[in-house]
Amino acid sequence: MLSFIKVTHSGSEISQVDPTHFMWFFTNLLMFIVVSAGIFLVIQGMNRTETLKTGSGPWIIFGLVLTLPSIVNEIFDEFEIILDGNFYPAELYEFIFTFSPFLTLIGALALIIGLYRQFLVGEHLSQKMSRKTLELESQKQELSKFAHTLSHDLRNELALILTTLELAEKKKSFDIEDIDLIKRRTHQVTSLINRSIELADAGLIVGEKELVNLNKLIKEVSEATVPSSIIVTTTNLPSLVADKEKLYQVFKNLLENAVIHAKPSTIEVAAKHTEEEIHILISHDGNPVRISMRTKMFQKDAIDQEGDERMGLRIITRIVEAHEWQIMLDNTGRTVVIIIPQTTLVRE
């Protein structure tokens, strides 16, 4: 066996030291440095990463710290053998030697818990990032589709205006019909742009909520939207806690759609209460929505193709969902139902 010759302190005796002790001494010293560096790095990471601070960090540090006593014990044990001296209290050595397996076991369990918690945090972040990526991709596709459709509609309207101007230029005069057509098409372009802005706003988080008197709100909307030839009535409407501006947009679009497409003589906005919900019913006596569209009128697939009417439906749906409400069309095709939890209702 290989051995190193060591001179004792007196210089009168020569003894041999097994090189294995040197190997274990430096190995344990390296382990001590590595574990200490690991503790330092985890502490630094906890100062920078909230998930490490509240998740696995404390467990990992606790586990690493519990391994240090046995490592230090081994370092001093080998050090004493190499120098043939007693520099380390025997009682402390025996104490740590006795309990080091227990401490190491607890440390190992703490490390396993810490690593598992870090795995769970990483898995959660990964799933969150995947969902976010899918949402961003969906938004990107929706934005692209919307931009192409809006561009198509605007080009059509501007082309009609340009054609009218070219015909008038050839005639070297403007007829009243030409002027009226240009006005109508210009209003249509303005409407498309305004609806586009409304659609973008509808995708934002609902703003500050306030007490909204639905009777007053419907009166304001109908005066600005519904022709005087159509009678608008309200029945048993409550006050709600909602974003008033966004709620105005909802009823504005609903009444506009009813006026333009149903051509009714009367529109009624009423409320029906249940134990858990309140149903706001917007009904008219005009043309019903065709049967094929009734069950999916406010579903995403039904409003993927844009246009002025479809933009209105998307605006309504986004705002209603942002309030955590629901919206649907009943089986008659003449009544839109907004379903609101009773918690949103203000008792008067």
Q: Where are the domains of the chain?
A: 4-134, 139-202, 210-346
Contact 243, 207 (CB under 8 A): yes
- Judge contact between 73 and 31, C-beta under 8 A: no
Distance of CA 83 to the CA centre of its chain: 64
Mean pLDDT along residues 224-238: 89
What's the mean per-residue pLDDT of the chain?
77
* Predicted local distance difference test score (pLDDT) of residue 171: 77
Check whether 118 has a pLDDT greater than 50: yes
Cα dist from 9 to 12, 14, 84, 87, 327, whole Å: 8, 10, 9, 14, 93
DSSP H helices, the chain, are 19-48, 50-54, 57-83, 90-171, 176-202, 214-225, 244-257, 291-294, 308-322
Quick one: pLDDT at residue 15?
Answer: 52
The answer for residues whose C-beta is within 8 angstroms of residue 296's C-beta and 6 or more apart is: 302
Is residue 145 over pLDDT 90? Answer: no
DSSP code per residue over 206-257: P---EEEEHHHHHHHHHHHHS-TTSEEEEES--EEEE-HHHHHHHHHHHHHH
Which has the higher per-residue pLDDT, 131 or 33?
Answer: 33
Angle between helices 244-257 and 176-202 (to 10 degrees): 140
pLDDT value for 160: 74
How much is the pLDDT for 337? 94
Question: pLDDT at position 139, please?
Answer: 62
Residue 15 token pair: 């003894």
Distances (CA, A) of 2 to 18, 19, 20, 158, 200: 7, 7, 9, 97, 81
**What dihedral angle (degrees, nearest 10) is formed by the CA atoms of 199, 201, 204, 208?**
-140
* Greatest Cα-to-Cα distance within the chain, rounded to the nearest angstrom: 129
pTM of the complete model beyond 0.95 = no
pLDDT at 266: 95
Residues contacting residue 161 through CB under 8 Å, at least 6 positions apart: 181, 182, 185, 186, 189
| Banded pLDDT at 42 (limits 50, 70, 90) | confident
Residue 274 phi/psi, 5° resolution? Answer: -125, 180
Tell me which of 181 and 71 has the higher pLDDT: 71
Kindly state the DSSP code that residue 331 receives in the 8-state scheme: T
- Report residue 139: phi and psi, to 5°: -65, -40
pLDDT of 300 strictly over 70: no
**Architecture, CATH, for domain 210-346:** 2-Layer Sandwich (3.30)
Q: What is the pLDDT of residues 314-336, one digit of tens each?
A: 778 888 888 889 999 988 989 99
Residue 196, Cβ density class (10 Å: 0-12 exposed, 13-18 middle, ≥19 buried): middle
d(CA 161, CA 132) in angstroms, rounded, equals 43
Which of residues 332 and 122 earns the better pLDDT score? 332
> What is the mean predicted confidence (pLDDT) over 163-170?
79
